[in-house]
Amino acid sequence: LHDGAIIIRENRIYKAGVLLPLSEDKKMEKKYGTRHRAALGISEHTDAIALVVSEERGTISICEGGKLVAMENLTRLRNELMRLLRRQSLTPSRWWRSKGNTRSGG
């Protein structure tokens, strides 16, 4: 799949090709495109953790709580994901519930 997001819930692919809300952050650097804006947007509206893979730069970034952070190596990525997943809420966000989803996951 090339377009759209993949939603993972309970360690399984729940949906694919999902269109996410784009961030409207005017301060976001111009080097970031739609993929990064979508990842940032979902993290602004929900408790979701979004991973973004940049084809152009070959980098991976994590978006959480409206912040985008580039991971400089695999160890940092792994540590950051473990930290975020340990504290991830089991309660679905308001945005997620508004889409008709009642189970946890973001």
Report yes or no on 31 lying in a domain. Answer: yes
What pLDDT, on the 0 to 100 scale, is given for residue 52? 94
Q: CA-CA distance, 42 to 63, in Å (whole number)? A: 8
Q: CA-CA distance, 25 to 18, in Å (whole number)? A: 21
Instruction: Determine the structural domain holding residue 28 and report its residue range.
Output: 5-97
CATH number of 81's domain: 3.40.1700.10
Helix (H, G, I), strand (E, B) or coil at 40: helix
Share of the chain above pLDDT 90, in %: 48
For residue 96, give the nearest of 21, 16, 23 by alpha carbon.
21
Report yes or no on 40 lying in a domain. Answer: yes
What pLDDT, on the 0 to 100 scale, is given for residue 47? 85
For residue 60, give the nearest of 44, 74, 43 by alpha carbon.
74
Report yes or no on 87 lying in a domain. Answer: yes
Q: What is the pLDDT of residues 56-92, one digit of tens each?
A: 888 999 999 999 999 999 999 999 988 887 876 545 5
Report the predicted TM-score, pTM, of the whole model to 2 decimal places: 0.73
Helix (H, G, I), strand (E, B) or coil at 6: strand
Q: How many domains, in total, are found in the chain?
A: 1
**Confidence class for position 3, pLDDT limits 50, 70, 90:** confident
